[in-house]
């Protein structure tokens, strides 16, 4: 056989197909199929070098209708050890093409395996062409074994020497394609391991964030799956392929990385006074002692003593009550101001305010546990998320992750933060992440400032945010289906 222009065109065409294939299993299957087609052979096996042995990846025998491993399913045959008596192993070790006319008459290698296979299946293995798959760095990543070349009348013949050049060329291109795919997979694995490490650091930093990051990632994935079902039913305009889903999950795992910068006294502030609650309690005990001393020293009457003692006792009881109260009504707000105006007189006659300005500000918080200043520090975690992720190189595959991660507190009507973006600038992924984040925050059992909310009420709050123009109605409806059905 002589190589023609058509042969070279075929090689180039197949090479292009190999380099454009993105699915590893399809790539391996295509390598074997095209090589069998070019050499007009009946069977073939493709091995991949793993753990110092050749692992069966794809097996085909046309005459017997056998096709195994083409979809990535495991082939239940033991790997071929890298020992020179095995023809495939020899080819890999020495990076050498091996062309055998008849395995039954050859004494060069141990063919007991193929002969045993033939005895079990009734097949007849005769001619053999073994090609090492070596990439551009000279690294062998596998071996391809072609079996029983056929002539024009389907008779078994020896593999033409000219085929060696063609298949070696294809094998080289295939090896490069496999290597590139492996490098890409390793880069993805590296990104995922980096992301998982950061997510662990975020959640381990405080018990009040112990599961939040991963739950938001889980909810985001569940939402995407539901929206894909709606897309197929013609109820949602976008489809989220595996690429988009991977990017969003990674973005979700990184969305709170900025909380690494938030002080723990703010992150862990479980009540309005936070760590200062014990300080206030001890001070009021001291004040009560001062009042008693002044009474015992005759500086105040018994009636004045009882009045001041009761006032201090009632005040600290009230402070303890509202310290962890969900919402502060007007009457409580005014009572805090009254207490803040009060003072205690020491036995030496010094006047000491009952509450500091900072304590007064904390106790006057209408809802939650954070003052305006503390809330600004907490909200700044989104800015820090963006700044931190800007320092990380995200390849083209994951390029949108940091964008979506930094937008999880934006709303459709521009009232969110930090950039007050509106609907026209928020991708579906950012909207999904926002809904997932809020839902978990409402229903979480490990938040310091509130009890977990029933999912029915949480969905109701999300729906009210839809009415306010903040959240995407379609995504909130999808969340309702996911958690309520």
pTM: 0.73
> In the prediction, which pLDDT does 28 show?
83
Both structure tokens of 1: 């056989």
Instruction: Please check whether residue 53 is in contact with residue 81, taking contact to mean a CB–CB distance below 8 angstroms.
Output: yes
Higher pLDDT residue, 183 or 289?
289
Q: Is the pLDDT of residue 77 over 70?
A: yes
State how far the Cα of 457 lies from the Cα of 178, in Å rounded to an integer: 51
Higher pLDDT residue, 56 or 1?
56
pLDDT tens digits, 320-345: 999 999 899 999 999 999 999 999 99
Beta strand 53-61 with 80-81: parallel, antiparallel or unpaired? antiparallel
The candidate with the shortest Cα–Cα distance to 418, out of 391, 380, 387, is 380
The rounded percent of the chain whose pLDDT value lies above 70 is 94
State how far the Cα of 370 lies from the Cα of 272, in Å rounded to an integer: 7
pLDDT tens digits, 37-47: 888 999 999 99
Compute the C-alpha angle 392/396/401, nearest 5°. Answer: 55
What burial class does residue 1 get, using C-beta atoms within 10 Å of its C-beta: 0-12 exposed, 13-18 middle, 19+ buried?
Answer: exposed
Instruction: Please check whether residue 333 is in contact with residue 366, taking contact to mean a CB–CB distance below 8 angstroms.
Output: yes
Average pLDDT of the residues in 249-272: 92
Averaged pLDDT score across all residues of the chain:
90
What burial class does residue 354 get, using C-beta atoms within 10 Å of its C-beta: 0-12 exposed, 13-18 middle, 19+ buried?
Answer: buried
Through-space distance between the first and last CA atoms of the chain, rounded to whole angstroms: 67
Bridge partners (DSSP) listed for residue 44:
60, 146
Neighbour tally for 260: CB within 10 Å? 15
Average pLDDT of the residues in 447-452: 64
> In the prediction, which pLDDT does 251 show?
96
> In the prediction, which pLDDT does 170 show?
78
Confidence of residue 11 (pLDDT cuts 50, 70, 90): low
Q: Is the pLDDT of residue 431 over 60?
A: yes
Confidence of residue 361 (pLDDT cuts 50, 70, 90): very high
> In the prediction, which pLDDT does 162 show?
80
Confidence of residue 12 (pLDDT cuts 50, 70, 90): low
CB proximity list for 267: less than 8 A, separation 6 or greater: 205, 206, 208, 209, 259, 378
Average pLDDT of the residues in 455-460: 95
Q: Is the pLDDT of residue 51 over 70?
A: yes
> In the prediction, which pLDDT does 3 show?
52
Task: Point out the least confidently predicted range of 134-148, 198-212, 371-385.
Answer: 198-212
Q: Is the pLDDT of residue 449 over 60?
A: no
Q: Is the pLDDT of residue 73 over 60?
A: yes
| Domain architecture of the chain: domains with CATH | 5-183 (3.30.450.40), 206-262+375-484 (1.10.3210.10), 274-368 (no CATH)
State how far the Cα of 251 lies from the Cα of 221, in Å rounded to an integer: 11
pLDDT tens digits, 82-113: 999 899 999 999 999 999 999 988 888 888 88
Q: How far is CA 105 from CA 109, 183, 197, 221, 355, in A?
A: 10, 42, 58, 58, 100
CB proximity list for 332: less than 8 A, separation 6 or greater: 318, 322, 325
Instruction: Please check whether residue 433 is in contact with residue 252, taking contact to mean a CB–CB distance below 8 angstroms.
Output: yes
Task: Point out the least confidently predicted range of 154-168, 231-245, 387-401.
Answer: 154-168
pLDDT tens digits, 171-228: 877 777 777 777 778 888 888 998 989 888 888 887 767 688 999 999 999 999 999 9
Would you give the DSSP letter of residue 386? H
CB proximity list for 244: less than 8 A, separation 6 or greater: 224, 429
Confidence of residue 446 (pLDDT cuts 50, 70, 90): low
Q: Is the pLDDT of residue 16 over 70?
A: no
CB proximity list for 359: less than 8 A, separation 6 or greater: 273, 276, 280
Confidence of residue 284 (pLDDT cuts 50, 70, 90): very high
């Amino acid at each position: 056989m002589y190589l023609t222009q058509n042969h070279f065109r075929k090689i180039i065409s197949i090479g292009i197909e190999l380099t454009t294939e993105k699915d590893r299993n399809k790539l391996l299957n295509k390598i074997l199929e095209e090589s069998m087609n070019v050499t007009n052979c009946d069977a073939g096996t493709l091995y991949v070098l793993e753990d110092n042995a050749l692992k069966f990846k794809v097996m085909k025998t046309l005459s017997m209708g056998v096709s195994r491993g083409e979809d990535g399913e495991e082939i239940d045959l033991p790997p071929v050890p890298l020992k020179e008596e095995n023809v495939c192993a020899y080819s890999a070790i020495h990076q050498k093409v091996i062309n055998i006319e008849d395995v039954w008459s050859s004494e060069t290698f141990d063919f007991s395996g193929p002969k045993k296979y033939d005895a079990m299946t009734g097949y007849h293995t005769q001619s053999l062409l073994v090609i090492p798959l070596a990439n551009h760095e000279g690294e062998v990543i596998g071996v391809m074994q072609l079996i029983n070349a056929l002539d024009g009348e389907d008779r078994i013949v020896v593999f033409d020497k000219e085929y060696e050049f063609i298949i070696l060329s294809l094998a080289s291109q295939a090896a490069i394609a496999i290597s590139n795919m492996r490098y890409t997979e390793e880069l993805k694995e590296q990104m995922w391991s980096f992301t998982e490490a950061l997510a662990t650091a975020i959640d381990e930093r405080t018990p009040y964030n112990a599961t939040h990051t991963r739950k938001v990632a889980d909810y985001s994935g569940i939402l995407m799956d539901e929206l894909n079902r709606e897309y197929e039913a013609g109820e949602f305009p976008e489809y989220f392929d595996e690429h988009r889903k991977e990017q969003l999950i990674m973005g979700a795992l990184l969305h709170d990385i900025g909380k690494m910068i938030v002080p723990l006294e703010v992150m862990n502030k479980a009540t309005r006074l936070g760590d200062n609650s014990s300080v206030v309690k001890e001070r009021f005990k001291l004040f009560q002692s001062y009042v008693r001393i002044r009474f015992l020293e005759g500086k105040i009457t018994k009636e004045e003593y009882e009045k001041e003692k009761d006032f201090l006792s009632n005040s600290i009881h009230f402070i303890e009550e509202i310290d962890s109260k969900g919402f502060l009504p007007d009457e409580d707000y005014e009572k805090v101001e009254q207490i803040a105006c009060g003072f205690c007189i020491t036995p030496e006659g010094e006047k000491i305010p009952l509450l500091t300005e900072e304590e007064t500000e904390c106790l006057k918080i209408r809802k939650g546990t954070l003052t305006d200043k503390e809330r600004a520090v907490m909200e700044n975690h989104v800015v820090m998320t963006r700044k931190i992720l800007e320092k990380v190189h995200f390849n083209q595959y994951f390029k949108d992750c940091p964008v979506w991660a930094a937008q999880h507190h934006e709303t459709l009507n521009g009232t969110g933060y930090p950039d007050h973006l509106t609907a026209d600038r928020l991708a579906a992924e950012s909207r999904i992440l926002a809904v997932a984040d809020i839902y978990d925050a409402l229903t979480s059992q490990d938040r310091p400032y509130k009890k977990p909310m029933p999912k029915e009420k949480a969905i109701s709050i999300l729906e009210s945010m839809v009415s306010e123009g903040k959240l995407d109605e379609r995504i909130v409806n999808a969340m309702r289906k996911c958690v309520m059905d």
